[in-house]
Structures are given as structure tokens and as C-alpha cells.
Amino acid sequence: MGKRFSSKELYELRNSIPIHVLIETQLGIPAKISEGVFRFLCPLCNEFQTAVNPKTNLSRCFRCEKNFNTIDMVMICHNTDFVDSVKYLQTILK
Ligand SMILES: [Zn+2]
């Protein structure tokens, strides 16, 4: 079985869509600015103890102690597997 997506493709999908845009606009996750910090409702624990890092384009839940990239967020929110989540992100970028 060959690789389905190149590492370059996956890198682009993880970095081309700002994570806060994906969270709020594409995935429709409740989000707010609190004390100047973008926070979103963690899809795992349903708390706002979260933040995003624009430098790494990762979102983090401090309660779950987990980082999520764009592909992880889609997998969790849409309950889709890796391949389908990647395809979803590809349609956004087109
Ligand atoms: Zn959480």
C-alpha cells in the first residue's frame, strides 16, 4: 500500500488554514475571545480552557492536555477517519 498523501500535502493542510478559522468558521465550534485570547469549546471535554498557537497552527486544551492540528480537529468534530478528514480539508483549500 503506497502512501496516499505526500508529506508536503499534509504539511500544507496542517498549516494553510488558520486553526482558529477552521474551528470557528468551518467546523462551527463555539468560540470566543476572552481577555484577548481566542478560546474554543474543546470537543473532548466541552470546556473553554483552550488556546490556539498561530506560530505552530495548533490548538490546545489545557484540561485534556492535548494539542490538535487541523486534521485532528476535523477527525474529532466530524468523527471521520484520517483519510476522509484530509479530503475534507482539501475541499476547503480548493
Ligand atoms: Zn478538553
* Predicted confidence (pLDDT) per residue in 1-28, tens digit: 457 899 999 999 999 999 999 999 999 9
Q: What is the pTM of this model?
A: 0.93
Which CATH number fits the domain 7-93, given the four candidates 3.90.580.10, 3.90.1150.10, 3.40.50.1820, 3.30.365.10? 3.90.580.10
Neighbours of ion ligand 1 (CB under 5 A): 42, 44-45, 61, 63-64
Q: 22-72, pLDDT tens digit by residue?
A: 999 999 999 999 999 999 999 999 999 999 999 999 999 999 999 999 999
Q: How far is the CA of 39 from the centre of ligand 1 (A)?
A: 11
Q: Where are the domains of the chain?
A: 7-93
In degrees and rounded to multiples of 5, residue 52 shows phi and psi of -120, 150
Residues whose CB is less than 8 angstroms from the CB of residue 31 and which lie 6 or more positions away in sequence, other chains included: 20, 23, 24, 38, 39, 40, 41
